[in-house]
Amino acid sequence: MAAPPAFVPPTRVLHGPGPSEVAPSVLRALAAPTIGHLDPAFLGLLDAVRSMLRQVIGTENELTLPMSGTGSLGMETCIDNLVEPGDRVLVGIHGVFGQRLAEVARRAGGEVTVVEGEWGRALDVEQVRKVAAGARFKLLCVVHAETSTGALTPLPPFRALADELGALLLVDCVTSLGGVPVEMDAVGADAIYAGTQKCLSCPPGLAPVSFSPRARAALDARKHKVQSWYADLSLIAQYFGGERLYHHTAPINMLYGLHEALRLVLEEGLEARYARHRTQSAALAVGLEAMGLKLAVPAAERLPPLTLVEIPQGIDDGRVRKRLLDEHNIEIGGGLGKFKGRAWRIGLMGESCQPERVTGVLSALRSVLEAEGFRATKTR
């Protein structure tokens, strides 16, 4: 039996598509001594977490809680609880996470219709309406913030469309929550899910979800049990609700971290936080374009927390990212799906979204690109 030495992570500056930088007080919160998941003090913490989540999501939904897994479990939770075998599901795809929604819905037994939108653009509601062709659907799935492309899709037109189709509206908010207004109740979304490691700046490991009363009613009216016991909200709600029935052991220390991360979000104020993401993202875009780089998403459709930059011709994707990491300790993301090898993803999420970070990533990227033979069009 041999134990390896203790792990000491390298110092990194996180500008990938998540995880984002975590505030020192959140890291400290993670390290508080573990208590029991039925301890009254812990149940009080859960109530506070749920209350703060409601504020950040912009909802009064009773069924609002953090799932014990990462953002993809949040997606699966929403689909598994709302889709029964044979239910018709309409999914707008304009990136990897729309594809994933369709795949998860098929595995839940849904009859899935997909709309193949343009990657790197907002989802076009008219295109979705056309594919739907007036048919009835149980669920319409839209990705608010496509983490694979950096495109932001306005939600209100999809609420109107969902009404026309008789559908519940499910929204992926993984990369919007905490960085871009979600306003679930104002939009009229029926179910949303998110992750903690993006604009909330908490480590990955929890997935906030929220169900409207209408989504809850659909859950209560199911003919079949939810296929996942672990993600069955009708059972989980009994632990989070007044009954406090044991379902599974909550990830205690992760919830300490989320509590502190949400506190920081509310202390900053949502409007100030959104403004910070808009301002710094705009500064990053100006800097990248000034260098002669092209942004893949049209300005009006960009997701402030995540910027997609086209890789210049003749420049090697992997080499640049490796040099940024090795020489500057900066992580940026590679492209996914159709953008694999064609674009980089630069995140400015939560704690990572600061003026000095923008100048830092711009300067490091310019230096590496020049060393790799790229000729920036303008001087510093």
State which of positions 332-361 bind a second copy (CB under 8 A).
336
CB of 79 to a second copy, least distance (A): 9
Stretch in the footprint of a second copy (CB under 8 A) among 33-41, 176-184, 185-193, 364-372: 33-41
Of 72, 234, 354, 367, which lies in the binding site for a second copy, with binding defined by CB under 8 A? 72
Nearer to a second copy, 266 or 286 (CB): 266
For a second copy, which stretch binds (CB under 8 A), given 32-40, 280-288, 292-300, 311-319? 32-40
Residue of 356, 258, 324 whose CA lies nearest to 23? 258
Under rule CB under 8 A, residue 32 binds a second copy: yes
Sign of the torsion formed by the C-alpha atoms of 153, 156, 160 and 166: positive
Distance CA 277, CA 161 (A): 29
Binding flag, residue 4, a second copy (CB under 8 A): yes
Among 65, 93, 108, 364, binds a second copy (CB under 8 A): 108
The span of 121-129, 158-166, 215-223, 249-257 binding a second copy (CB under 8 A) equals 249-257
Residues 115-144, one symbol each (x = binds a second copy by CB under 8 A, - = not), give: ------------------------------
Selected from 50, 100, 144, 323, the binder of a second copy by CB under 8 A is: 100
List the interface residues with a second copy, window 46-65 (CB under 8 A). 48, 51-52, 55
* Cβ closest to a second copy, residue 35 vs residue 131: 35
Q: Is 318 in the site for a second copy (CB under 8 A)?
A: no
Q: Which of 6, 133, 299, 300 binds a second copy (CB under 8 A)?
A: 6
Near a second copy by CB under 8 A: residue from 137, 256, 339, 344: 256
Contact flag: residue 185 with a second copy (CB under 8 A): no
User: Residue 331 CB, nearest distance to a second copy (Å)?
Assistant: 5
Comparison of 48 and 282: residue with beta carbon closer to a second copy: 48
Residue partners of 130: CB distance under 8 A and separation at least 6: none
Question: Which of 107, 121, 278, 342 contacts a second copy by CB under 8 A?
Answer: 107
For residues 225-244, which are near a second copy according to CB under 8 A?
225-230
- Residue whose CB is less far from a second copy, 28 or 319: 28
Residue 377 touching a second copy (CB under 8 A): no
266 Cβ contact list (under 8 Å, min separation 6): 52, 55, 56
Question: Quick one: which of 91, 104, 187, 199 contacts a second copy (CB under 8 A)?
Answer: 104
What is the 3 state secondary structure string of the chain? CCCCCCCCCCCCEEECCCCCCCCHHHHHHHCCCCCCCCCHHHHHHHHHHHHHHHHHHCCCCCEEEEECCCHHHHHHHHHHHHCCCCCEEEEEECCHHHHHHHHHHHHCCCEEEEEECCCCCCCCHHHHHHHHCCCCCCEEEEECEECCCCEECCCHHHHHHHHHHCCEEEEECCCCCCCCCCCHHHHCCCEEECCCCCCCCCCCCCEEEEECHHHHHHHHCCCCCCCCCCCCHHHHHHHHCCCCCCCCCCCHHHHHHHHHHHHHHHHHCHHHHHHHHHHHHHHHHHHHHHCCCCECCCHHHEECCEEEEECCCCCCHHHHHHHHHHHHCEEEEECCHHHCCCEEEEECCHHHCCHHHHHHHHHHHHHHHHHCCCCCCCCC
Pair 68, 49: CB distance under 8 Å: no
As measured in angstroms, the least distance from the Cβ of 290 to a second copy is 27
d(C-alpha 309, C-alpha 108), whole Å: 35
Opening angle at CA 64, ends 139 and 208, nearest 5? 85
Stretch that binds a second copy, among 72-80, 116-124, 125-133, 294-302 (CB under 8 A): 72-80
Q: With contacts defined by CB under 8 A, name the span among 42-50, 274-282, 291-299, 361-369 that binds a second copy.
A: 42-50
Task: Tell me, residue by residue from 277 to 316, as one string, x for binding to a second copy by CB under 8 A and - for no binding.
Answer: ----------------------------------------
- Give yes or no for residue 27 binding a second copy (CB under 8 A): yes
